[in-house]
Amino acid sequence: MSRLVIVSNRVADPNQVHGGLDVCVLDALRKRGGVWFGWNGEIASKESCLEVGYAKLDRLTFVTTPLVERDYDEYYLGFANAALWPVHHYRLDLARFTPESVEGYRRVNERFAEMLAPLLRRDDIVWVQDYHLIPLGAALRARGVANRIGFFLHIPFPPPEVFVATPEHEWLMRAYAEYDLVGFQTKTDHLNFCRFVTECMGGRIVSTDMLQVAGKVFSAGFFPVGIDVDSFAAMADSPDAARHIRRMRKTSAPRIRVIGVDRLDYTKGLPDRLRSFKRLLELYPENRKRAALLQIAPPTREDVQAYAEIRRELEGLSGEINGELGDFDWTPVHYIHRRLSRETLAALYRASRVGLVTPLRDGMNLVAKEYVAAQDGTNPGVLVLSRFAGAAEDLEEALIVNPYDVDDVAHATQRAIAMPLVERIDRHRALLTRLRARDARNWTREFLQALDASRMAVAA
């Protein structure tokens, strides 16, 4: 079997998973072994210190490098997170484009390619992950790398009317065309990309999964990301989780726990969610002193201004709701901004009657899938899910809501709280079947099979 080489901006410490991409990549690599290349999370003092480091864990090899401060500012905080991230989440109002940040983005992609190219074997399969590294494939090709190279975008691809606001959209398109296969999370993202190629770049659709543009023919499709359902369910079912849940119930626990788990990010709709919870307590006062929202939101990217603002807003809102509605024996909103172990998260999901997953825009959202996987099938909780999360394209048995409409989310939360056991069991069973059909293993297998087929399709 060919060696799998995964490249992502940040290589995770397997004991410290930071976000959805880490979860997917670790699942993919643990199963089949391989190499994971990328940034080690450290900042080196000068360029001459930028060396490649190696570490091994079972069948996995980690190959990592630091960044220098300027790269961190211009490539990571700059073009990736202050330009591409907001544009892809339809937030042009938050996008900041500067020539330095584009330059930093090019520079780091070139350097990654320079470091990686000599390490590749002839039959390695290279799989590049996410928006930080769109031009990496082209930079590898420029160094003579003829291997199969696939790219997967973990975040949404916006409608072309939005994407073309990125000053570098033509350059990015040419970079996309250098891959053998470009994968998206949902049918909608794939469609948006095809519209961009055909309506804005003069390209054409060759077949359902092949595009031609900028003198290149390449494959594109959608491959919804999934989780390792059984291992997550096992965590939620473990004696440790049961102990955790007993302890929570014995202490201050409310009778009805509603849970939200997200990186602290403006795309996750956290202020709107808190407002919806307040609205629930206003519209359905019988929940006062009975229900509480546990919101877990560890801060990320705090050096980007928009992230500091969302943190302030959220802290203000939870203080306001607790001050206005809370009592000496009841706190409506518990807000924790710390990272928890996956075992603790699994126990918390299981102990929660409602999972509130209400992003304003999200590539997929693995929390929605983890919440379902963690439930006790004989007495499951209910998932309330934003129509703007990629997961909503598939998870039809969740209560689908418009996260901008606080009344809609409040009514759905009440419906979840009041839902009869039989209906909860039916919905949960259907959701679990969907999760299994599109789990982490299938995601990897289907993407790699399509990558394999892409070469043959072009040759034909």
Catalytic (active-site) positions: 154, 362
* CB nearer ligand ADQ, residue 272 or residue 362: 362
* CB nearer ligand ADQ, residue 81 or residue 219: 81
* Least CB distance to ligand ADQ at residue 4 (A): 17
* CB nearer ligand ADQ, residue 352 or residue 414: 352
* Least CB distance to ligand ADQ at residue 343 (A): 10
* Least CB distance to ligand ADQ at residue 435 (A): 13
* Least CB distance to ligand ADQ at residue 347 (A): 12
Task: Specify whether the CB–CB gap between 397 and 429 falls below 8 A.
Answer: no
Task: Specify whether the CB–CB gap between 66 and 45 falls below 8 A.
Answer: no
User: Which parts of this chain interact with ligand ADQ (CB under 6 A)?
Assistant: 19-21, 23-24, 154-155, 225, 261, 263, 296, 298, 339-340, 345, 362-367, 370
Q: Which residues pair with 362 in a beta bridge?
A: 389
CA 150/CA 430 separation, integer angstroms: 32
Task: Specify whether the CB–CB gap between 409 and 276 falls below 8 A.
Answer: yes
Task: For the beta carbon of residue 81, count every other beta carbon within 10 angstroms.
Answer: 23
Rounded alpha-carbon distances, angstroms, from residue 33 to 25, 27, 100, 109, 238: 11, 10, 37, 24, 27
Residue with the two structure tokens 């391989």: 34
Q: Which residues pair with 44 in a beta bridge?
A: 68
* Least CB distance to ligand ADQ at residue 206 (A): 27
* Least CB distance to ligand ADQ at residue 341 (A): 7
> Three-state SS for 179?
coil
* CB nearer ligand ADQ, residue 24 or residue 162: 24
Rounded alpha-carbon distances, angstroms, from residue 404 to 89, 140, 271, 336, 358: 15, 42, 10, 23, 9
CA 235/CA 241 separation, integer angstroms: 7
Could you give the strand order of the β-sheet that contains 382-386, starting from the edge strand earlier in sequence? 333-336, 291-296, 256-261, 354-357, 382-386, 399-401
CA 176/CA 392 separation, integer angstroms: 26
* Least CB distance to ligand ADQ at residue 328 (A): 28
Task: Specify whether the CB–CB gap between 273 and 409 falls below 8 A.
Answer: yes
* CB nearer ligand ADQ, residue 211 or residue 366: 366
What is Dmax (Cα atoms) for the chain?
72
What is the helix (H) or strand (E) element at residue 343, kind and residue range?
helix 342-350
What is the helix (H) or strand (E) element at residue 415, kind and residue range?
helix 406-418
* CB nearer ligand ADQ, residue 282 or residue 343: 343
* CB nearer ligand ADQ, residue 20 or residue 254: 20
CA 333/CA 201 separation, integer angstroms: 48
Length of the chain: 460
* CB nearer ligand ADQ, residue 24 or residue 113: 24
Spell out the residues 6+ positions from residue 419 whose beta carbon is closer than 8 angstroms to its own.
382
* Least CB distance to ligand ADQ at residue 40 (A): 19
Residue nearest to ligand ADQ (CB): 20
Rounded alpha-carbon distances, angstroms, from residue 159 to 54, 90, 214, 401, 420: 40, 8, 20, 21, 40
What is the helix (H) or strand (E) element at residue 109, kind and residue range?
helix 99-116
